[in-house]
Homo-oligomer: A and B are copies of this chain.
């Protein structure tokens, strides 16, 4: 038998609309996508600080807090990468329902997975932020030394090296970081995104 038919919703007394009314803003998911080293986490962190100071309740989901905990059972195979993105989107959906603006910073190289995340949380809640930094620059920076390892064959299926990055065709927000300071990129992000947040 299908167990799911036995899950009967309770009528929670505090609804999302109550939270929106009390907190004074509408929760959205800002989905940062880009190569390793593109500046996703840096930019998401800087933008979160801005949002927090503006009075939004915010949270960042990224490899640091998700891969080490909830998704620690997943490896980097194609199946696990897909499950990784699914769970991130599901967790983001819970945060949105709690009234929090969520920022996710994952390479998320595949269009299909990003589309799945968009549909899962609801198209109107999803803002795709493409942090567009050329591979050459990411590889030059190589903050974590990962590109060197990938080039040496020590990390298989590394995005940009031996696994593709499918850039968004029509991202909601598009930030080219090359030649810009973090502050400049942040200002551009704020300008592009602020009309999408209430």
Residues of B near A124 (CB, < 8 A) are none
Return chain B residues, CB-CB under 8 Å to A70. Answer: 87, 90-91, 94
Tell whether, in the assembled complex, residue B10 and residue A67 are in contact, meaning their CB atoms are under 8 Å apart.
Answer: no
Question: Do B48 and A14 touch across chains, with their CB atoms under 8 A apart?
Answer: yes
Q: How large is the interface on A (under 10, 10 to 19, 20 to 34, 35 or more residues)?
A: 35 or more
Cβ–Cβ contact B7 & A48, under 8 A: no
| Count of this chain's copies in the oligomeric assembly | 2
Q: A45-B13, A91-B70, A149-B6 are in contact. Are A100 and B97 (CB under 8 A)?
A: no
Query: Cβ of A136 < 8 Å from any Cβ of B?
Result: no
Residue from the set A18, A63, A94, A154 with the largest chain B CB neighbour count within 10 Å: A94
In chain B, what residue has the closest Cβ to A55? B22
A31: min CB distance to chain B, Å: 17
Select A67's contact among B7, B46, B60, B91, beta carbons within 8 Å.
Answer: B7
Q: Given A14-B52, A52-B14, answer yes or no on A144-B3 (Cβ-Cβ < 8 Å).
A: no
A49 in the interface, Cβ–Cβ < 8 Å? yes
Nearest Cβ on chain B to A48's Cβ, whole angstroms:
5
Q: Are B90 and A10 in contact (CB under 8 A)?
A: no
Contact indicator A144/B8 (Cβ below 8 Å): yes
Closest to A74 in B: B3
Q: Which residues of A contact B (CB under 8 A)?
A: 1, 3-4, 6-14, 18, 22, 41-42, 45-46, 48-49, 52, 57-70, 72, 75-76, 87, 90-91, 93-95, 97-100, 144, 146, 149, 154-155
